[in-house]
Amino acid sequence: MTMEAQADRIAWPEEAEVAERPRRRWLPFSPWHLVLFPLALIMLLPLVWMIVTSLETQAESLHFPPVLVPGSLHFGNYPSALRSAPFGRWFLNTFIVTSTVVVSNLLLCSLAGYAFARIRFFGRAATFMLLLATLMVPFQVVMIPTFLIVKKLGLFDSLPALIAPNLVSAFGIFMLRQFFRTLPVELEEAARIDGASRLGVLFKIVLPLSLPALATLAVIQFMWTWNDFLWPLIAVFSQRNFTLQLGLTVFQGSHDVFWPLVMAGNVMSMIPMLVLFFAAQRYFVRGIATTGLKG
Amino acid sequence: MGRLRRALASDHVAGWAFIGPAFLLIGVFGILPIVWGLVLSFQKSDLIDPNTPFVGLTNYRALAHDHVLRIAAGHTLVYTGVFVPVSVIGALFVAVALNRKIHLIRFYRTAVFVPVVASTIATSIMFLWLFDAQYGLANWLLGKIGVGPFGFFDSPRGALYAIIAMTVWGWVGFDVIIYLAALQGIPHELVEAAEIDGASRWSIFRSITVPLLGPATLLLVVWSSINALQLFDEVYFVTHGGPPPYNTAVVVWWLFSLAFRLGAAGYAAAIAYVLFLAILVLTMVQFWLGNKVVHYSS
């Protein structure tokens, strides 16, 4: 069975699940809780501790044994964090870069993926192989020349430097091409006979049927771009062009051990990602299960 | 005949028009850098001077005498050798535990998955604080059960293992998702038949579940190894690669430093290509060995 077929069957979060067999009960609850509950606590601990610290005073944070429950909740750490660094600017930069990259990928990967799936054109096999080959090459191999290309194009230290190399991804083209090939071709042929153009077929018939695949690509691409660190570290230099991930490094450095503010900043940097995760868990899970990529 | 030819021609035009923008971008930012990187690895370049003379195999010869590279390669191998089995085997057990219908299961799954969406930097910040040698919660909790205190990232020997613990936390949910998908593919009849024959849970796990998860395990081992060999963000952020004596230096950190901090981009490109080759060979060996062991059902 392919990973893709398996992914469609994944029990997440409320689809078919393995029923617990009735067993002799020596506990009033399933013994699996004894394993899973501590595990969940350990997994959540770093996140909870981040939030707790973000609401403490500096004195409370630098206390040993740690202050587990702050005397009062210092929500003021959040506006302080925003004021102490160009956080708003970094937020805006990250948002501009991420949204441009996601929208552009949806459009360009759809067009190319559709051509590779349905149109017979000269050089299709060769260009597709070339595309797959680029997927195998690790980023470290291309990062130095990509830096030189971006510099030659006059984009170094600008938001376009962060955007341009990511406008389209070979992975996205491949993923959508695979999905388009699973759609019944008869609908498209009928529309073509009725005189619809290729573009019309793609936008009026194929894409509306492909919303789950497009959503999956969108959330995966969002996560990659929002969380990316190495390329921004290379491609921009001035603080006004920083993304949040770069900003956090400055932020941490400039406050050294002022942990409540650092944590407040860290919480804020994660909020959009977390909101998207909880709104679109299903697509994250599908994206990972079908393609196996974190970034 | 003419009409057919026209139709064919229009398909060629349509095809290229559709892939055109994507192909141009991938050509400039995907294919060109791959070729340029290879060329660069035979040149001397500091990324600033436009004059980049060819130096033949000098960069590749220098690899053998690079003291830091040797340390970094050693750390990268230790990291990969520990991270991959720990995260994959850990995820296997977690996935099996999560693959059942009990109360709170959604909460448990979410708790395991959430770290996957935390960025490497956000994760590093959380763990720098959690693992703080002086005020960290981890040392306090471990002290309660009579272990430690540890220096974690400050400890010369322990820093790499602290990074392993942190990255396992960030990755395990990813592996669990893949295992859960694979577990859904195991036919119920097989497990039920074994139960009727009186097999214990442990023997069902060993003799049915684990072999049937073979393909997923192979995929995860290959994928985690590729990523482990490319470790960078956490090392750069948490320990800055451990400036001399390079306690946590890894290969990608060293090639990044060479290219963008030390003005040796040609040499760094050579390291990058050798790393690429190493990843390719390791992947092929893993698939080759894996396919001898792993059983694929139709």
pLDDT for position A5:
45
Is A287:B174 a contact under the CB 8 Å cutoff?
Answer: no
B136 in a domain, yes or no? yes
Interchain CB distance below 8 Å, A281 and B110: yes
> For B236-291, how does the pLDDT look when each residue is reduced to its tens digit (9 = 90+)?
988 876 667 788 899 999 999 999 999 899 999 999 999 999 999 999 999 999 88
B53 in a domain, yes or no? no
| CB-closest option in A111, A121, A292 to B12 | A121
d(CA B40, CA B264): 11
Q: How many inter-chain contacts (A to B, CB under 8 Å) are there? A: 304
If one compares A5 and A134, the residue with the highest pLDDT of the two is: A134
Q: Does the pLDDT value for residue A14 go beyond 50? A: no
Q: Does the pLDDT value for residue A18 go beyond 70? A: no
B24 and B62, same domain (yes or no)? no
B119 in a domain, yes or no? yes
Q: Is B16 on the interface with A (CB under 8 A)?
A: yes
> For B230-246, how does the pLDDT look when each residue is reduced to its tens digit (9 = 90+)?
999 999 988 876 667 78
Judged by CB atoms within 8 Å, which residues 216-255 of B form the interface with A? 216, 219-220, 223, 226-227, 230, 232-233, 236-237, 252, 255
B126 and B13, same domain (yes or no)? no
Is A81:A87 a contact under the CB 8 Å cutoff?
Answer: yes
Q: What ipTM is given for this predicted complex?
A: 0.90
> For B38-90, how does the pLDDT look when each residue is reduced to its tens digit (9 = 90+)?
999 999 888 888 888 888 888 999 998 999 999 999 999 999 999 999 999 99
B110 and B174, same domain (yes or no)? yes
A16: confidence class by pLDDT, cuts 50, 70, 90: very low
B163 and B199, same domain (yes or no)? yes
Q: What end-to-end distance do the CA atoms of chain A give, in Å?
A: 25
Q: Which residue of B has its CA nearest to A134?
A: B30
B71 and B26, same domain (yes or no)? no
B125 and B235, same domain (yes or no)? yes
pLDDT for position B271:
96
Q: For the domain with range A90-291, which CATH number is right: 3.20.20.140, 1.10.3720.10, 3.20.20.100, 2.40.30.160?
A: 1.10.3720.10
B16 contacts in A (CB within 8 Å)?
Answer: 121-123
Judged by CB atoms within 8 Å, which residues 1-40 of A form the interface with B? 1, 3, 5-7, 9-14, 16-21, 29-30, 32-33, 35-37, 39-40
| Residue-averaged pLDDT of chain A | 86
B76 and B23, same domain (yes or no)? no
Contacts of A268 (CB under 8 A, 6+ apart): A78, A81, A82, A87, A91
A148 contacts in B (CB within 8 Å)?
Answer: 36, 47
B48 in a domain, yes or no? no
d(CA B46, CA B49): 6
pLDDT for position B102:
87
pLDDT for position A253:
58
A134 contacts in B (CB within 8 Å)?
Answer: 26, 30-31, 34
| CB-closest option in A11, A170, A277 to B30 | A170
Give the mean model confidence (pLDDT) for residues A5-14. 46
| Residue-averaged pLDDT of chain B | 89
Q: Which of B128, B83, B80, B75 is nearest to B238 (CA)?
A: B128
Is A141:A135 a contact under the CB 8 Å cutoff?
Answer: no
> For B127-182, how does the pLDDT look when each residue is reduced to its tens digit (9 = 90+)?
999 998 888 899 889 988 888 788 888 888 889 999 999 999 999 999 999 999 88
Tokens matching residue A36? 């899973």
Is B297:A1 a contact under the CB 8 Å cutoff?
Answer: yes
Candidates A140, A151, A281, partner chain B, best to mutate (most B CBs within 10 A) = A140
B78 and B109, same domain (yes or no)? yes
The CATH number for B182's domain is 1.10.3720.10
Alpha carbon distances (Å) from B161 to A38, A170, B91, B265, B269: 22, 34, 18, 30, 28
A12 contacts in B (CB within 8 Å)?
Answer: 109, 180
Q: Which residue has the tokens 């073509």?
A: A192
| CB-closest option in A62, A120, A138 to B11 | A120
B12 and B141, same domain (yes or no)? no
What is the full DSSP assignment across chain B?
A: -HHHHHHHHHHHHHHHHHHHHHHHHHIIIIIHHHHHHHHHTTB---SS-S---B-TTHHHHHGGG-HHHHHHHHHHHHHHHHHHHHHHHHHHHHHHHHSSB-TTHHHHHHHHHHHHHS-HHHHHHHHHHHT-TTT-HHHHHHHHTT-----GGG-TTTHHHHHHHHHHHHHHHHHHHHHHHHHHTS-HHHHHHHHHTT--HHHHIIIIIHHHTHHHHHHHHHHHHHHHHT--HHHHHHHTT-HHHHTT--HHHHHHHHHHTSS-HHHHHHHHHHHHHHHHHHHHHHHHHHHHHPPPP-
* Domain residue extents for chain A: 90-291
Give the domain extent around B34: 1-40
B32 in a domain, yes or no? yes
d(CA A167, CA A146): 14
- Tell me how many domains chain B contains: 2
B23 in a domain, yes or no? yes
B94 and B143, same domain (yes or no)? yes
Is B113:B177 a contact under the CB 8 Å cutoff?
Answer: yes
Judged by CB atoms within 8 Å, which residues 68-97 of A form the interface with B? none
Q: Is B88 on the interface with A (CB under 8 A)?
A: no
B4 in a domain, yes or no? yes
| CB-closest option in A11, A13, A109 to B184 | A11
Q: Does the pLDDT value for residue A36 go beyond 90? A: yes
B73 in a domain, yes or no? yes
pTM, two decimal places: 0.89
> For A219-257, how does the pLDDT look when each residue is reduced to its tens digit (9 = 90+)?
999 999 999 999 999 999 999 999 999 999 886 655 466
pLDDT for position A294:
43
> For A126-172, how does the pLDDT look when each residue is reduced to its tens digit (9 = 90+)?
999 999 889 889 998 999 999 999 999 999 999 999 999 999 999 99
Q: What region, left, alpha or beta, does residue A24 occupy, with left being phi > 0 and alpha being psi -120 to 50 degrees?
A: beta
Give the relative orientation of helices A259-279 and A77-84 as an angle to the nearest 10 degrees: 100
d(CA A33, CA B7): 64
Alpha carbon distances (Å) from A7 to A11, A223, B181: 9, 19, 5
pLDDT for position B3:
67
Q: What region, left, alpha or beta, does residue A154 occupy, with left being phi > 0 and alpha being psi -120 to 50 degrees?
A: left
B208: confidence class by pLDDT, cuts 50, 70, 90: confident
What b/e readout covers A111-139, taking b as 16+ CB neighbours within 10 angstroms? Answer: bbbbbbbbbebeebeebbebbeebeebbe
B182 and B240, same domain (yes or no)? yes
B95 and B205, same domain (yes or no)? yes
Tokens matching residue B139? 């040392």
